[in-house]
Structure 1
């Protein structure tokens, strides 16, 4: 249950000389409102009022504050419609702000089209924020990652709408990395990369009732790049759907990494026109020019249950595990995936590709999975 934080004083950015015409920069007004609210011990609200559009550039604030803050976005926030920085920065960044609630019916527009050739700026980021609630807002067209959560604990995210064109590069809807005890519920994400990406050193993440598409589905990883160590565990993705996407549910690790991915559940998920709905890939290499290495992040105890729908390619299930560090304990139960071939009127049988998944069990799976070793 979300915490009801009742504020006692409201800091309206208009009272700090924000204009809200979408033309005049309002960053300083936002910063002044934050400074005043952050020093207030009485559970303040910062109000971004409705029927206004506020142009800002790199709003970046730090905690700790004297009490929890309610950041209410009722109007719209837009980035400059031009290249506005040579550095890798975010449009809005909250650092080490505990007890923050960011909520509202307004929209944050990253105006990312001008950036998509260089993939640098991001739109909304929370770093080191604990007991965080993000609810109800809309985010669109980030230059890169749309909403980022880094080293945040006890986070509740619900009723977000995140959008970007399917051809926009690297525009993950949410990136959750280094976080613990996170729930994502009742949200809609359509973008050019992963709808939700779970990065290194994350655990106890629950995702449910999320509609994904277009995009690259729900992904754990990539992990283990340049030989790094990572532990990701206790991840659940349930009661969701993926459509018109490259992948559906996926775990991807580089060769040469160290650590483990374990205790993962993908359950009750519908797929429609997904190129490859189910993927485990311990040979992740987007450049297709990677050296073979013997070490790898171990993948253990992953369950795929009650998955159904269609792939848009013949291979609906791809489980490619390392020869030197094989996957163990992969379970697929009640999985039914057909190949929706545009050349045929009816869905046709799909195929699977599997090797080096040891001590694994496949029950009631279509297409049938026969896993090779070596």
Structure 2
């Protein structure tokens, strides 16, 4: 407000945000930029650039809204933080993407962080993004805590958090209600922990898709623990296209509760959302994936699906204490395993038969 923002929800406050950011970023005394509560700030597309002279906090207590119109024809983010180290975004406020008017084209995203290191995002609410709600690209040492994401279950491509070429990302105590992946982990990403979070509706927590158009992918050391999934399409998933290359390894999925999930455990090297993909040799090699203490119900009798390529088989799959029953059906759950080597321990239901076992 000191930089002449209207905060009335109808006046574009992008210039006031830019002026406030320039003053904040140029301050060497660890300043805080405050978006005050009780007001609504309309923003057109804006990018806030670093590097800054000292650590910066953005206190988001009010509401930021996107224009309720088609405001660009190019792929874009409403609010991007770029090349800012030691950034904290905190507060009780909300970003509303007014996404329903975009859901036939979905190429505008809500909140993006690019090339930001030592980043902390806490307590904010994200709602109805036109596309992905939060993106992390080439970020390192990221903490996301107590963030909520909310969009209708049938809204297209509204991932909760999408990350690529990032490392050491820690997501905890978050709530995701989306029309696509709650968390999506793409190529170039390593050392990710998602814990104590809820997902549903949505498509689950997904690694991939990887290897599209013959590309080489690399994803390593991903942990999902103490999370719950309700009425999602998948629970924990690794998905890759035929014909890709590279590797995805070092997965731990543990202490997870599933409620009415279509495919609670899903590894799919034949990912093809539109159907009719040509058969190809080659695949992203998937190995060292552990599924431990996973309980609950599946809405589909096929509760476990591990579908691997004949040319690049999956190795090192481990299931321990898995108990998945069929919700609302008298049918027994089953597992479909294709070209996968692995072992089991404890009690595993449905029964799983790996190659070489």
TM range, normalised to the smaller chain?
Answer: over 0.9
| Matching residue of 1:265 | 252
Give yes or no for the alignment of 1:361 onto 2:344.
yes
Residues 116-131 of structure 1 correspond to what in structure 2 (within 5 A)? 116-131=103-118
CA contact (8 A) 2:342 2:354 kept: no
| Matching residue of 2:309 | 322
Q: TM-score, normalised to structure 1's length? A: 0.94
Residues 166-315 of structure 1 correspond to what in structure 2 (within 5 A)? 166-315=153-302
CA contact (8 A) 1:244 1:273 kept: yes
Query: Alignment partner of 2:155: what SS?
Result: coil
CA contact (8 A) 1:133 1:156 kept: yes
Which shows bigger deviation, 352-361 or 29-38?
A: 352-361
Q: TM-score, normalised to structure 2's length? A: 0.98
How many angstroms apart in 2 are the aligned matches of 1:82 and 1:119?
A: 13
Query: Alignment partner of 2:10: what SS?
Result: strand
Question: How far is 1:189 from its partner?
Answer: 0.5
| Matching residue of 1:351 | 334
How many angstroms apart in 1 are the aligned matches of 2:74 and 2:55?
A: 30
How many angstroms apart in 1 are the aligned matches of 2:338 and 2:242?
A: 16
| Matching residue of 2:10 | 23
How many angstroms apart in 1 are the aligned matches of 2:342 and 2:77?
A: 44
How many angstroms apart in 1 are the aligned matches of 2:234 and 2:223?
A: 17
| Matching residue of 1:11 | none
Task: State the Cα deviation string for residues 47-68 of structure 1 (Å, max 9, x = none).
Answer: 0001000000112111111111
| Matching residue of 1:3 | none
Which shows bigger deviation, 73-82 or 289-298?
A: 289-298
How many angstroms apart in 2 are the aligned matches of 1:289 and 1:88?
A: 27
Query: Alignment partner of 1:144: what SS?
Result: coil
CA contact (8 A) 2:318 2:342 kept: no
How many angstroms apart in 2 are the aligned matches of 1:157 and 1:353?
A: 35
Unpaired segments of 5 or more residues in structure 1?
1-13
How many angstroms apart in 1 are the aligned matches of 2:219 and 2:22?
A: 36
How many angstroms apart in 2 are the aligned matches of 1:86 and 1:137?
A: 28
RMSD: 1.1
CA contact (8 A) 1:312 1:339 kept: yes
How many angstroms apart in 2 are the aligned matches of 1:225 and 1:34?
A: 38
Question: How far is 1:363 from its partner?
Answer: 4.3
Question: How far is 1:231 from its partner?
Answer: 1.0
CA contact (8 A) 1:340 1:348 kept: no
Q: How many residues align?
A: 356
How many angstroms apart in 1 are the aligned matches of 2:192 and 2:151?
A: 24
Question: How far is 1:359 from its partner?
Answer: 4.2
| Matching residue of 2:53 | 66
| Matching residue of 1:88 | 75
Query: Alignment partner of 1:189: what SS?
Result: strand
Question: How far is 1:293 from its partner?
Answer: 1.4
Question: How far is 1:287 from its partner?
Answer: 1.4
How many angstroms apart in 2 are the aligned matches of 1:362 and 1:177?
A: 33
How many angstroms apart in 2 are the aligned matches of 1:183 and 1:359?
A: 28
How many angstroms apart in 1 are the aligned matches of 2:286 and 2:344?
A: 15
CA contact (8 A) 2:343 2:354 kept: no
